[in-house]
Amino acid sequence: MAKIHAAITGVQGYVPDYVMTNAELEQIVDTNDEWIRTRTGIEQRHILKGEGQGTSVMGIEAVNGLLQKTGTDPMEVELVICATVTPDMPFPDTANIIADETGMKNAFCYDISAACSGFLYALTTAARFIEAGAHKKVVVIGGDKMSSIIDYTDRTTCVIFGDGAGAVMLEASEEEVGVMDSLLKSDGAGRAYLHQKAGGSCYPATEETVARREHFVYQNGRPVFKAAVSGMADVVGQVMQRNQLSSDDITWLVPHQANRRIIETVAKSLDFPMERVMVNIHRYGNTTAGTLPLCLWDWEDQLKKGDNLILTAFGGGFTWGAIYIKWAY
């Protein structure tokens, strides 16, 4: 019997209408457009405004578009996984809310929390369900409303992040396409450098945790930068090696969009030309679990069946990884 592969058969993204420019941030914190552009590559980010608007709002938009463009009856979807660190609420999972609002009533649903690597973790998990023959159609969403956990008095983090989400349809295929390999890593020691301290069971919300601004992202940027570069270069290198791929064999490198300088350094260390690296950080900033599906969405028109893609990410946890995909359409 032919091996079953998990093939991406559609991708759709969504970013909110409101655009926060570097000029607007100049009015809020002591920063400037020149610093943000040269140190991060970011020119603007999209922000989800309005009371009661959570990550699901963006996930629902992406999934509705995805179901429509792939001609999928929502009742055919058997599993929905949403990667996010900004769920609508601690429970139920955001995947449940998205499925309810989009009519995917036959699916079981859950969230994966792996920060910027969330989409890689969710895609790998979903692929295993398909490869095992358990399910035929799975929707994987990656998205975050980072503006809900960003301290807009902290110039070191508030200039970086934005809101956005993307979703892919994953289907069983007997062709040599889809998720071909995946290498995921974590190191909990990295939590010292990147975390949101309060709001969980350790430090539930109190007046004090709010006053100490502990419900916001804390990041010590330099060690994260270094670990991100070496972590992503290492796993991409390993995935290339064990699949006998040289950089010439890879059509697109699809990196997490945290900092343009990180992306360039990783590409250089792999001897990979920037012309074949997806970069849209200037438009969206860092949307955490949203960056990879938003890249696939932006480049979907240019992708051809059989193209070799390597997706890679690094983020809070630490978590990181790389996935080798043969594009299916």
Q: Which residues are catalytic?
A: 116, 256, 286
Q: Which of residues 298-327 bind ligand UT7 (CB under 6 A)?
A: 314-315
Q: Which of 14, 119, 218, 225 binds ligand UT7 (CB under 6 A)?
A: 225
Query: How far apart, in whole angstroms, are the C-alpha atoms of residue 243 and residue 237?
Result: 10
Residues touching ligand UT7: how many (CB under 6 A)? 21
Shortest CB 34 distance to ligand UT7, Å: 9
- Window contacting ligand UT7 (CB under 6 A); options: 58-66, 131-139, 156-164, 180-188: 156-164
Query: How far apart, in whole angstroms, are the C-alpha atoms of residue 154 and residue 117?
Result: 23
CB 22 within 8 A of CB 43: yes
Give the nearer residue to ligand UT7 in terms of CB position, either 163 or 171. Answer: 163
Give the nearer residue to ligand UT7 in terms of CB position, either 144 or 171. Answer: 144
Neighbours of 93 (CB within 10 A): 22
Q: Which of 31, 113, 209, 243 binds ligand UT7 (CB under 6 A)?
A: 31
Query: How far apart, in whole angstroms, are the C-alpha atoms of residue 222 and residue 213?
Result: 21
Query: Does residue 152 interact with ligand UT7 by CB under 6 A?
Result: no
Q: What are phi and psi of 127, to 5 degrees?
A: -60, -40
Shortest CB 23 distance to ligand UT7, Å: 13
Shortest CB 136 distance to ligand UT7, Å: 33
Neighbours of 204 (CB within 10 A): 9
Shortest CB 262 distance to ligand UT7, Å: 6
Q: Which of 19, 26, 33, 39 binds ligand UT7 (CB under 6 A)?
A: 39
- Window contacting ligand UT7 (CB under 6 A); options: 168-176, 195-203, 256-264, 302-310: 256-264
Query: Does residue 40 interact with ligand UT7 by CB under 6 A?
Result: yes
Query: Does residue 228 interact with ligand UT7 by CB under 6 A?
Result: yes
Shortest CB 246 distance to ligand UT7, Å: 27
Query: Does residue 265 interact with ligand UT7 by CB under 6 A?
Result: no
Query: By C-alpha distance, which of 328, 299, 312, 302 is closest to 272?
Result: 312
Return the structure tokens found at 120: 């890689």
Q: How buried is residue 206: exposed, middle or buried, by Cβ count under 10 Å (0-12/13-18/19+)?
A: exposed
Q: What angle do CA 206, 316, 113 make, to 5 degrees?
A: 75
Binding mask 72-111 for ligand UT7 (x = CB under 6 A): ----------------------------------------
CB 260 within 8 A of CB 40: yes
Give the nearer residue to ligand UT7 in terms of CB position, either 223 or 237. Answer: 223
Q: Which of 150, 224, 296, 311 binds ligand UT7 (CB under 6 A)?
A: 224
3-state helix, strand, coil in the chain (%, to 5): 40, 25, 35
Strands 44-47 and 79-83: unpaired
Q: Which of 222, 244, 271, 275 binds ligand UT7 (CB under 6 A)?
A: 222
Give the nearer residue to ligand UT7 in terms of CB position, either 224 or 250. Answer: 224
Neighbours of 200 (CB within 10 A): 11
- Sequence-distant (≥ 6) Cβ neighbours of residue 199 within 8 angstroms: 205, 209, 214, 215
Which chain residues interact with ligand UT7 by CB under 6 A?
Answer: 31, 35-36, 39-40, 116, 155-156, 159-160, 221-222, 224-225, 228, 258-259, 262, 286, 314-315
